[in-house]
Structure 1
Amino acid sequence: MEATAEMKRTTSGTTAPASPVKPTFKWDFFKSPAGWFKLAEIISGVLVFALLAGSKIWRGLPTTHALQFVMVVAISAWISTLLLSVVYVFSVHSTILSHLPWYMIEFAFNTFWSAIYLPAAIVAATQASELWDLSQILSNYHLVGSATFSFVSTALYIFHSFYAYKMWKGIFPWSTRRGERLINR
């Protein structure tokens, strides 16, 4: 019998079909600090673009290009964070893609979005302050809320990148060294 990649050798020397690696569904990810960060980033991100999309600013004002940048950043960060959360919830990181350095990937991901979200938050705050008028406070509160949650999202990505860095380097007692799993610790 010819041995294929789908066959594995047993202790008796015979070959048997290898069990396929299947991702498992784990809601326990959201019980970890990394899951808390992801959940907070998802909620904060959806608030940024929901408040920005709900504002009346899109009706022909010259500031729409700057706010379009904020919207693109918010939606892109939200979608990529949601996709990375799906990878963790379905345990794809520990089954199919277990050969990748996930702590380093998580650190790079959060550092990237920290660096991109900060200018977007500054732009949102600048545009909200330029359009701030006490007579129009009810029509511009969406912009103020969007700017506020942009800074909240930025802070979440920054703190998450610090956490991911410490996990990557194994600084926490429960973390692993260099992204490798320690067996008898």
Structure 2
Amino acid sequence: MANILAPISICTSIFYKTSVPGLLKIGELVLGLICWAIFASTGTFLNHAPAYQFVMFVAVTSWLLTLALSIIYLFGLHASMCSGAPWNIIEFGFNAFWGLFYFIAACVAVAYAGSSSLLVAGTVFAWFTAIVYIVHIAFSFKEWKSAPSSGGAGAGQA
């Protein structure tokens, strides 16, 4: 019972914010927010287009989960609370999953954009966000393969 109630020290990591994974997460958050803000501003069009509902689902869900993962890394919770988890593999899988989904969502958005300037702008930002996730996949893979095989809290450390 004493271990459950033990205090957890939480401090922010300035090094994570300036590392490559940290900067890529910031790029994913900024571009993802712009993407879903543009698609959300199309108004009632989303109610009649299931394709854009999928794009909106991908944009909002990935943004929220990326924000949650960023907070975990920023406050060092991956090292203090879940230090035994294989964070390099988790990070790689997370980026691979959302990179694939953003790629599919961007392809769907291109197919249905038409001549609406809002939809074209949203599609462009969907592609930018997909590219950032794909670049993050490469960095996550490199970090995963270069890390010791013991798992641990290696992800997010520069």
| Same fold (TM > 0.5) | yes
- State the structure with bigger RCO (CA 8 A, min sep 6), 1 or 2: 2
Aligned length: 152
- The residue that corresponds to 1:9 in the other structure is none
The structure that has the greater radius of gyration is 1
> Contact 1:23/1:96 (CA < 8 Å) preserved in 2?
no
Aligned partner letter, 1:50: A
1:88 aligns with 2:79: no
1:70 aligns with 2:55: yes
Equivalent in 148, 156, 160 of residue 136 of structure 2:
160
Quickly say closer, same or farther: Cα 1:181–1:149, change in 2 above 3 A: closer
> Contact 2:85/2:152 (CA < 8 Å) preserved in 1?
no
- In the aligned structure 2, how far is the partner of 1:69 from the partner of 1:181? 33
Gaps of 5+ in 2: none
- In the aligned structure 2, how far is the partner of 1:53 from the partner of 1:108? 28
Aligned partner letter, 2:104: P
Runs of 4+ in 1 over 4 A off after TM superposition: 179-182
Equivalent in 7, 11, 31 of residue 18 of structure 2:
31
- More helix by percentage: 2
- The residue that corresponds to 2:122 in the other structure is 146
- The residue that corresponds to 1:102 in the other structure is 87
Deviation of residue 29 (structure 1)?
1.4
Q: TM-score, normalised by structure 1?
A: 0.75
Gaps of 5+ in 1: 7-18, 133-139, 171-175
> Contact 1:44/1:152 (CA < 8 Å) preserved in 2?
yes
- The residue that corresponds to 1:177 in the other structure is 148
SS at match of 2:77: coil
- The residue that corresponds to 1:53 in the other structure is 40
SS at match of 1:25: coil
Q: TM-score, normalised by structure 2?
A: 0.87
Deviation of residue 27 (structure 1)?
3.4
- In the aligned structure 2, how far is the partner of 1:80 from the partner of 1:23? 20
